[in-house]
Structure 1
Amino acid sequence: MAFYRPDQVMQEYLVAQIKRLAADGRDGLLERLAVTWVRYDTDQPVTGSGQGAAWGDQRQIYPASVVKLIYAMAAEAWLQQDLLPEEPELRRAMRDMIADSSNDATGLLVDLLTGTTSGPALQGEAWELWQRQRRLVNDWLQGLGWPELEHVNCCQKTWGDGPFGRERVFYGVDLENRNALSTAATARVLEAVMTDGLLSPPACQRLRELLARSLDQAQRAADPENQVDGFLGAGLPEGSRLWSKAGWMSKARHDAAWWRAPDGSPALLVAFSDGAACAKDEQLLPELARQLAAFKG
């Protein structure tokens, strides 16, 4: 059962827009795109109050840097339970992980959350313990009891050149242990952040401050890695406010976005597109957001 109320008119509109995008020279898009789209009737929505639609939203997909949203939320949960000490270096890493999508900062956060470190391959009991520790974020997600999180995998660091040593072994021979998220799972987590739906209001407010993106053209031009251009935020109406976390690599272009339109109406949109063609397509996600933001049903 979805965390929102399924809306048939929204569903038909979403399917039509996806098929239109696919027909515009994007062969195979129907199998390579996953979407969760939720709209809210009030400018101060509570958790679970939206109505929405989806396409392939249960598929487990490599999330690239979108997984950093999960790690940031876990860090606030650990802090709330006194499992991590409050310190400036932790906050600096969280900021760089979300605002700038730093992989180095993400590596530190994963180490802190799980009590593990990278290095050469391990053997025997030490290796078994390391693997159990590295799955602590997954254990926490399963403990929430949200059906959307049942099959997710959030246990790997993010990389520029890729994993080495024990990290590479942990990925599995065929990379079967890579991170995996669905758009449904990502959307439910982002909604919880934006509506104080899991953590304390101060913790959610700190996360929202990290996720806030500027739509100002001059600021975007000054920051080529702004996580707006080429992603959902680039298709939003002028005057919108945006909170988001994008993910991009050679075979993926994803985004998880919450925005408030100029009239104050909030909406949530998570779109994962996988494959080399999608990764290079800088118009796909903006156009999807443009069409869905224009929906008036």
Structure 2
Amino acid sequence: MAFYCPDGAMAQRLQSVVAQLQADGRPELEQQLSITWLRYDHSLLNSAAQASDTAAFWAQRPAGASWNGERPLYPASVVKLVYLVAAEAWLQRQLIDDGPELRRALADMIRDSSNDATGLVLDLLTGTTSGPELAPDALAAWGQRRQLVNRWLAELGWPEWQGCNACQKTWGDGPYGRERQFYGANLENRNRLSSAVTARLLHAVIAGGLLSPQACRRMQELLARSLDPAERAADPENQVDGFLGEGLPPGARLWSKAGWMSQARHDAAYVEAEGQAPMLLVVFSEGAERAADTALLPELCRQLLQG
């Protein structure tokens, strides 16, 4: 059962918006998208604290709709949201030590989408390091440690996790040595996420319904994005322009993690705007044309927020 309640009117609206955007000069767009869209009656922010327990929170299913939402795709830097939550989970269980360098890496990983910071975080989570190629037995042992985040997510029992994978670092030029070995000959071990599992994870973080309230507030702080035009102009890689946040009206509030590379443009966002129902929207778009399409995600957000 989905963690949200499928809403027929939202599904029709989503289908209509996707069809119109495809007709606007984006052939095959319907096959290039994975979308999960949720709407709330009231603010989701830290709302889990208002429930009697965790089970009661998850029983409060928001209205939602999906477009290929269960289809796992390469998530680009959206996977950094997974590693952020895992790091706070490890800290809560005292599996890793807290400290200024970890906090600096987490901040740079989310706010600036640093690949170098992500590498450090994943090394700490799994007890692995990059380096030269390994012999088969050593590579197998190394690879088992790299699966720690996957095993933790599987233990949550979320049906949305099926078919997904979060065990690789993110790269500028690409993996080398043992990292390339671990991808597999045909890159079959690449990271994979669906918009559905990403939406559930972001839903839990914003509501404070997965880890401690303090941990969730720390993550919310890192995910918060400024919509101030001057601040955005000063930071060309602000994860707002060209992404969902660009479609928001002035005065809106945004928490998000974007991902972009030569074959993908993705975003996962929770937004609150005056006069509109709070909304959580995850959009994955794949292919070179979509990666270069800076208008698609803002328009999707604009249309669905109004819908």
State the TM bucket, normalised to the shorter chain.
Answer: over 0.9
Check whether the contact 2:32–2:286 (CA below 8 A) recurs between aligned residues: yes
Aligned equivalents of 1:134, 1:263: Cα separation in 2 = 45
Deviation at 1:124, TM superposition (A): 3.5
Aligned equivalents of 1:216, 1:177: Cα separation in 2 = 39
Deviation at 1:285, TM superposition (A): 0.2
Which secondary structure does the structure 2 equivalent of 1:225 belong to?
coil
Deviation at 1:238, TM superposition (A): 1.8
- Which residue in the other structure is 1:278 paired with? 290
User: RMSD in angstroms over aligned alpha carbons?
Assistant: 1.0
- The 5 A counterparts of 1:59-208 are 59-208=71-220
The one-letter amino acid paired with 2:78 is: V
- Which residue in the other structure is 1:248 paired with? 260
Which secondary structure does the structure 2 equivalent of 1:258 belong to?
strand
Q: Residue 216 of structure 1 is aligned with which of 216, 225, 228?
A: 228
Deviation at 1:266, TM superposition (A): 1.8
Aligned equivalents of 1:256, 1:91: Cα separation in 2 = 22
Deviation at 1:82, TM superposition (A): 0.2
Give CA-to-partner distance per residue, 1:48-70, whole Å, 9 cap, x none: 43101000001110000000000
Aligned equivalents of 1:214, 1:251: Cα separation in 2 = 26
Which secondary structure does the structure 2 equivalent of 1:230 belong to?
coil
Aligned equivalents of 1:263, 1:244: Cα separation in 2 = 20
Aligned equivalents of 2:274, 2:64: Cα separation in 1 = 20
Aligned equivalents of 1:199, 1:43: Cα separation in 2 = 19
Does residue 58 of structure 1 match 2:70?
Answer: yes
Aligned equivalents of 1:254, 1:188: Cα separation in 2 = 16
Does residue 21 of structure 1 match 2:7?
Answer: no
Which secondary structure does the structure 1 equivalent of 2:125 belong to?
helix
Check whether the contact 2:276–2:305 (CA below 8 A) recurs between aligned residues: no
Which secondary structure does the structure 2 equivalent of 1:247 belong to?
strand
Which secondary structure does the structure 2 equivalent of 1:224 belong to?
coil
- Which residue in the other structure is 2:4 paired with? 4
- Which residue in the other structure is 2:306 paired with? 294
TM-score, normalised by the number of residues in structure 1: 0.98
Aligned equivalents of 1:13, 1:124: Cα separation in 2 = 51
TM-score, normalised by the number of residues in structure 2: 0.94
Deviation at 1:239, TM superposition (A): 1.2
Check whether the contact 2:36–2:281 (CA below 8 A) recurs between aligned residues: yes
Q: Where has structure 1 moved over 2 Å in runs of 4 or more?
A: 43-49
Aligned equivalents of 1:264, 1:38: Cα separation in 2 = 13
Give CA-to-partner distance per residue, 1:222-275, whole Å, 9 cap, x none: 000000000000001221100000000000000000011124742100000000
Aligned equivalents of 2:180, 2:291: Cα separation in 1 = 24
Aligned equivalents of 2:160, 2:273: Cα separation in 1 = 27
Q: Which runs of 5+ in 1 are unaligned?
A: none
Q: Which runs of 5+ in 2 are unaligned?
A: 49-56
Cα distance change of structure 1 residues 264 and 277 upon mapping to structure 2, 3 Å threshold: closer
In terms of mean alpha carbon deviation, does 114-123 or 261-270 score higher? 261-270
Check whether the contact 1:43–1:264 (CA below 8 A) recurs between aligned residues: no
In terms of mean alpha carbon deviation, does 10-19 or 41-50 score higher? 41-50
In terms of mean alpha carbon deviation, does 83-92 or 36-45 score higher? 36-45
Deviation at 1:176, TM superposition (A): 0.7
